[in-house]
Structure 1
Amino acid sequence: MTDFLAAVLLGVIEGVTEFLPISSTGHLLIAERWLGHRSDLFNIAIQAGAILAIVLIYRQRLWELVVGFATRPEARSYSLKLAVAFLATAVLGLVVKKLGWELPTTIRPVAWALVIGAIWMLVAEQLAARRAQALGERVEVSWTTAVLVGIAQVVAGVFPGTSRSSVTIFVALLSGTTNRVAATEFAFLLGIPTMFAATGYQLLAVYKDGGIGGEDWTALAVAFVAAMGTAFVSVKWLLRYIQSHRFTAFALYRIVLAAALLLLVPSGQ
Structure 2
Amino acid sequence: MSDMLSALLLGVLEGLTEFLPVSSTGHLLIAQHWLGARSDFFNIVIQAGAILAVTLVFRQRLWGLLTGLDDPANRDYVAKLAVAFLVTALVGLPVRLAGWELPETVTPVATALVLGGVWMLVAERLAERRGDVATVSWKVAVLVGLAQVVAGVFPGTSRSAAAIFMAMLAGTSRRPAAAEFVFLAGIPTMFAASGYAFVELAAAGGLGREPWDEVALAFAAATVTGFAVVRWLMGYIKAHRFTGFALYRIVLGLLLLALMPGQ
> Distance between the aligned counterparts of 2:97 and 2:221, measured in 1?
34
> Distance between the aligned counterparts of 1:98 and 1:217, measured in 2?
26
Name the structure 2 match of 1:234.
Answer: 229
Structure 2 counterparts to residues 30-49 of structure 1, below 5 A: 30-49=30-49
Name the structure 2 match of 1:108.
Answer: 107
> Distance between the aligned counterparts of 1:108 and 1:232, measured in 2?
31
Normalised by the length of structure 1, the TM-score is: 0.94
Secondary structure of the residue aligned to 1:131 is coil
> Distance between the aligned counterparts of 2:199 and 2:246, measured in 1?
36
Alpha-carbon distance, 1:109 to partner: 0.5
Alpha-carbon distance, 1:41 to partner: 3.4
Instruction: Show structure 1 runs of 5+ residues with no match.
Output: none
> Distance between the aligned counterparts of 2:43 and 2:144, measured in 1?
25
Contact 1:44 1:203 in 2 (8 A): no
Name the structure 2 match of 1:78.
Answer: 77
Name the structure 1 match of 2:55.
Answer: 55
Name the structure 2 match of 1:224.
Answer: 219
Alpha-carbon distance, 1:124 to partner: 0.3
Contact 2:201 2:207 in 1 (8 A): yes
Structure 2 residue 152 is matched with structure 1 residue 157: yes
Name the structure 2 match of 1:142.
Answer: 137
Q: Deviations over 1:125-181 (max 9, x none)?
A: 11011112xxxx321101111111111111111101111101111111111112111
Contact 1:40 1:206 in 2 (8 A): no
| Equivalent pairs, count | 263
Q: Deviations over 1:69-88 (max 9, x none)?
A: 1x100000000011111111
Name the structure 2 match of 1:255.
Answer: 250
Normalised by the length of structure 2, the TM-score is: 0.97
Instruction: Show structure 2 runs of 5+ residues with no match.
Output: none
> Distance between the aligned counterparts of 1:178 and 1:105, measured in 2?
32
> Distance between the aligned counterparts of 1:59 and 1:225, measured in 2?
18
> Distance between the aligned counterparts of 2:193 and 2:42, measured in 1?
14
> Distance between the aligned counterparts of 2:189 and 2:203, measured in 1?
21
Secondary structure of the residue aligned to 1:210 is coil
Contact 1:41 1:211 in 2 (8 A): no
Name the structure 2 match of 1:268.
Answer: 262
Name the structure 1 match of 2:93.
Answer: 94
Letter in 2 for 1:82: L
Secondary structure of the residue aligned to 2:129 is helix
Consecutive aligned runs of 4 or more in structure 1 exceeding 3 Å deviation: none
Secondary structure of the residue aligned to 2:161 is helix
Alpha-carbon distance, 1:98 to partner: 4.3
